[in-house]
């Protein structure tokens, strides 16, 4: 049998993980990325493995889909604890693009940068080809939509305050385009409590040199730490209306500072007016790096989930899978894991096998099913779902699935009979 051809659209964590999983399973894989770098939102993420995300990463590794996590561990700058985030590994975002390019090269994935897909050719419920903006047609046997969920300028204008010049760089590379949506799949946004579609991107990064010498020294030495906000600057209302269900009160009351290499990240504050920020000791000269409009507002994401089943196949299609934010979840571990499962199942389908889901007795199986149910439930996407915080993290603890010991997680996966399950050569 000749190798099936798998086409992955999007080169963030989900697309890269999907491409590697499909290549390992024996497919010929081509990945197309709209911008000039791999990494997507991960280019300004940086924090991994905290709380339940550690379990997701170890489950993936045990199941034979650990390449992205292992690559990130090689560029870790610090391990630290910050408010509500236990044992964060912080990778150097400046090294992410080339790190991911080397992973794809190692697994023989052909990838093309500055290659934005704008159209789809389909027959009934099968995708036959995708088209680039130069009209070139790329045919394949199975397709993966790993295009993320960030606004595109149009959505940032409609549901935010306009283009804030973020890392996605739509003005030069063009808006995000989902192939599932192009093919006619339903597209559902996450909703804020007031009904507005889309969430606000959670974080801002600032230039290190714009912090006081003392904050610079601490961030280089400690990697991450938290500063309690002056009482008058704490805005519970902003947080609950823009980032529903993700952050706890304790986090809202602090600014976390995280050294992600090129810049310092302040996770999960969404936006913070420069004038106010400069009143806080140590931030008198602070300058925002990402997004450029961060002090006024942030970009909008979680605008584009398509219904799927727990094997990651897009509902209504036989050869179209999705992973990452496109499939309803967010976070490095969550996106890489769903990408890996989607890539593996894509090759199963190409090989004439049924796609599989992960058992609900694993943290990932539980998480994928929970988010899948949320997509299908009215208002289900009003609260965020993450293995890092809140309900899903608490639930995996209750289920006895949380451990900070890699060995314990691996033993559990072994008992499930899933060691190297996602690393099988299928064709």
Ligand X SMILES: Cc1cc2nc3c(=O)[nH]c(=O)nc-3n(C[C@H](O)[C@H](O)[C@H](O)COP(=O)(O)OP(=O)(O)OC[C@H]3O[C@@H](n4cnc5c(N)ncnc54)[C@H](O)[C@@H]3O)c2cc1C
Positions in the binding site for ligand X (CB under 6 A): 9-15, 32-35, 40-42, 44-48, 53, 116-117, 146-148, 150, 176-177, 201-203, 267, 301, 324-325, 330-332, 335
CB-nearer residue toward ligand X: 39 or 64 = 39
Distance CA 146, CA 41 (A): 12
Q: How far is the CB of 419 from ligand X (least distance, A)?
A: 25
Distance CA 189, CA 366 (A): 22
Q: How far is the CB of 195 from ligand X (least distance, A)?
A: 22
Contact 117, 177 (CB under 8 A): yes
How many CA atoms lie less than 13 Å away from 257 in the CB half-sphere? 25
Q: DSSP string spanning 290-357?
A: ESTTTTT---EE---B--B-TT-BBTT-SSEEE-GGGGT--SHHHHHHHHHHHHHHHHHHHTTPPP--
Phi, psi angle pair for 401, to nearest 5°: -100, -5
- Helices vs. strands in the chain: H and E counts, helices first: 15, 18
Bridge partners (DSSP) of residue 301 are 199
Q: How far is the CB of 231 from ligand X (least distance, A)?
A: 27
Sign of CA dihedral 356, 382, 255, 227: negative
Q: How far is the CB of 156 from ligand X (least distance, A)?
A: 12
CB-nearer residue toward ligand X: 109 or 426 = 109
Q: How far is the CB of 119 from ligand X (least distance, A)?
A: 9
> If you ran DSSP here, which 8-state letter would residue 94 be given?
G
Contact 127, 5 (CB under 8 A): no
Spatial CB neighbours of 352, under 8 Å, sequence gap ≥ 6:
none
CB-nearer residue toward ligand X: 158 or 411 = 158
Q: How far is the CB of 281 from ligand X (least distance, A)?
A: 25
Contact 57, 146 (CB under 8 A): no
CB-nearer residue toward ligand X: 26 or 393 = 393
Residue found by looking up tokens 């967010």 in the block: 330
CB-nearer residue toward ligand X: 97 or 141 = 97
For 119, counting Cβ atoms within 10 Å of its Cβ (0-12 exposed, 13-18 middle, 19+ buried), the class is middle
Q: How far is the CB of 133 from ligand X (least distance, A)?
A: 9
Q: How far is the CB of 75 from ligand X (least distance, A)?
A: 14
Contact 174, 318 (CB under 8 A): no
CA angle 379, 384, 76 (to 5 degrees): 160
Distance CA 147, CA 332 (A): 14
Distance CA 266, CA 277 (A): 12
Q: How far is the CB of 277 from ligand X (least distance, A)?
A: 17
Q: How far is the CB of 8 from ligand X (least distance, A)?
A: 9
CB-nearer residue toward ligand X: 10 or 26 = 10
Q: How far is the CB of 79 from ligand X (least distance, A)?
A: 14
Measuring CA to CA, which residue among 226, 152, 208, 199 is closest to residue 297? 199
CB-nearer residue toward ligand X: 115 or 319 = 115
């Amino acid at each position: 049998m000749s190798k099936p051809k798998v086409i992955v659209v999007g080169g963030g964590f989900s697309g890269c993980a999907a491409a590697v999983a499909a290549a390992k399973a024996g497919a010929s894989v081509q990945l197309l990325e709209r911008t000039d770098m791999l990494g997507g939102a991960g280019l300004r993420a940086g924090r991994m493995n905290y709380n339940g995300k550690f379990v997701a990463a170890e489950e993936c590794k045990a199941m034979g889909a650990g390449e992205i996590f292992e690559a990130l561990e090689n560029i870790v700058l610090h391990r630290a604890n910050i408010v509500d985030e236990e044992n964060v590994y912080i990778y150097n975002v400046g090294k992410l693009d080339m790190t991911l390019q080397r992973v794809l090269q190692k697994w023989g994935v052909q990838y093309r940068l500055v290659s934005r897909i704008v159209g789809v050719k389909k027959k009934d419920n099968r995708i036959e080809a995708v088209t680039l903006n130069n009209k070139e047609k790329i045919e394949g046997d199975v397709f993966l939509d790993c295009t993320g969920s960030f606004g595109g300028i149009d959505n940032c204008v409609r549901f935010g305050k306009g283009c804030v010049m973020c890392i996605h760089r739509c003005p030069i590379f063009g808006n995000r385009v989902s192939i599932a949506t192009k093919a006619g799949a339903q597209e559902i946004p996450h909703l804020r409590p007031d009904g507005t579609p889309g969430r606000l991107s959670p974080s801002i990064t600032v230039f290190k040199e714009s912090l006081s010498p003392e904050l610079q020294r601490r961030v280089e030495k400690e990697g991450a730490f938290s500063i309690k906000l002056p009482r008058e600057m704490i805005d519970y209302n902003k947080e609950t209306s823009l980032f529903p269900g993700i952050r706890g009160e304790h986090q809202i009351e602090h600014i976390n500072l995280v050294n992600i290499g090129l810049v310092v990240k302040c996770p999960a504050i969404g936006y913070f007016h420069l004038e106010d920020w400069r009143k806080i000791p140590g931030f008198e000269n602070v300058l925002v790096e990402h997004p450029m409009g961060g002090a006024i507002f942030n970009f909008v994401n979680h605008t584009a989930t398509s219904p799927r089943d727990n094997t990651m196949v897009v509902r209504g299609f036989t050869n179209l899978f999705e992973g990452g934010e496109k499939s309803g979840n967010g976070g490095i571990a969550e996106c890489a894991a769903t990408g890996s499962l989607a890539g593996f199942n894509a090759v199963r389908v190409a090989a004439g096998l049924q796609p599989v889901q992960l058992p609900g007795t694993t943290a990932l199986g539980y998480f994928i099913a929970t988010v899948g149910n949320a997509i299908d439930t009215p208002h289900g996407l009003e609260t965020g779902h993450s293995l890092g915080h809140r309900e899903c993290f608490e639930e995996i603890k209750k289920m006895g699935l949380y451990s900070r010991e890699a060995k314990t997680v691996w033993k559990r996966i072994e008992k499930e009979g899933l060691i190297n399950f996602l690393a099988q050569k299928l064709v």
